[in-house]
Amino acid sequence: MDTKLRGDIGEQAAVLYALKQGWGVLQPVGDRLPYDLVFDVLGTLLKIQVKSAWFDEPSGNYVVDNRRTKTNRRIMLRDPYQLADFDFALAYVEELELFYIFPVEVFISYGSEIHLVEAEKRQRKPRSSEYRNAWNLILEFSRLRVQLAIAMQPVSEA
């Protein structure tokens, strides 16, 4: 399966999950933006980047590249993402139908790859484990944005 198809499957899995939560989903036209989807959660619009993980035989882990990949006339360029590029990155492990939900600041803090450890082979859980199916982070972030918007409304003088 090529990487484009794998990415499309990951994006559609994210769309399906969001719709099941009752969230709105918007898809940008084309693929030149640094995000793949926009979720409307509690009236808050969140930019979402979806990445598909692959299985790395030597390490026994699923791996996600946390850089932007651009192809231009057979040349592949990889650049780091920036804080303003999106709000959350969803790393999809298709074989397990599982998502890791990373806030952008966490996602870009890794080197070039994030290893998602699904085997119970370690005594200590890796940092990425706290983001396993952490959909609550998206809901909490949306609630905070709503509270902030309410707090910033001007007080009317009576």
Residue 158 has pLDDT above 70, yes or no: no
Residue 141 has pLDDT above 90, yes or no: yes
Domains of the chain by residue range: 3-151
- Please give the pLDDT value at position 91: 97
- Please give the pLDDT value at position 157: 63
Distance CA 83, CA 146 (A): 20
- Please give the pLDDT value at position 119: 73
Query: What mean pLDDT comes out for the span 92-96?
Result: 95
Query: What mean pLDDT comes out for the span 73-84?
Result: 84
Distance CA 12, CA 142 (A): 22
Question: In which band, very low, low, confident or very high, does the pLDDT at 103 lie, cut at 50, 70 and 90?
Answer: very high
Query: What mean pLDDT comes out for the span 77-94?
Result: 93
Residue type, 40: D
Fold of 3-151: Trna Endonuclease; Chain: A, domain 1 (3.40.1350)
- Please give the pLDDT value at position 92: 97
Question: In which band, very low, low, confident or very high, does the pLDDT at 121 lie, cut at 50, 70 and 90?
Answer: low
Distance CA 113, CA 50 (A): 14
- CA angle at residue 81 from 110 to 77, to 5 degrees? 105
- Please give the pLDDT value at position 150: 87
Alpha-helix runs per DSSP H in the chain: 3-20, 104-107, 136-151
Distance CA 113, CA 58 (A): 15
- Please give the pLDDT value at position 64: 94
pLDDT 10s digits, 7-36 = 899 999 999 999 999 999 999 998 889 999
Residue 122 has pLDDT above 70, yes or no: no
